[in-house]
Amino acid sequence: MELFLQIITNRILIVGVVSWFLAQVLKCISNLILTKQFSIERLFGDGGMPSGHSATVTSVAIATGLYEGFDSALFAIAMIVAIVVMHDAMNVRYQAGKQAQLLNVMAEVFERVTGADLPNEEKLKELLGHTPLQVICGGILGTATAILMYLFF
């Protein structure tokens, strides 16, 4: 029971979860504004504005610095992990999404031209990564969330 209490009262963990949740809610709102349709998938899905990954890891890194010290080994580890995650979201996963988009178009054209059905009946997921702006906005959201929660809680 004490372990469970330690987990649910861990300030850094709470900051990360709150930051992720805020990013996902903002993602739903931005998607609603852009498409004029509400999509519950945006609440849990990857890609979109702002980056939930960036918001989460940035808030954890900043909160770690605030609570443990910006000269601590824990902050250094959290910051390096944040940089790796944001780089991955902006480059590797973003490019994978672009490839999925192209493959979906190619599959659609192939089926239309040949009349043959490809074995994969569902389209590949295209929203995997983030643009630099989405990553930056997620980082700003994560930083602001960590600072505000540190100041007010």
Cα→Cα distances 38→9, 16, 22, Å:
33, 25, 16
Measure the CA–CA gap between 40 and 137, rounded to whole angstroms: 21
Which residue ranges in the chain fall short of pLDDT 70? 93-94, 120-121, 126-128
Measure the CA–CA gap between 134 and 51, rounded to whole angstroms: 5
129: number of Cβ within 10 Å: 22
Output the pLDDT for position 114: 81
Q: What is the pLDDT of residues 69-97, one digit of tens each?
A: 999 999 999 999 999 999 988 877 667 77
> How much is the pTM?
0.81
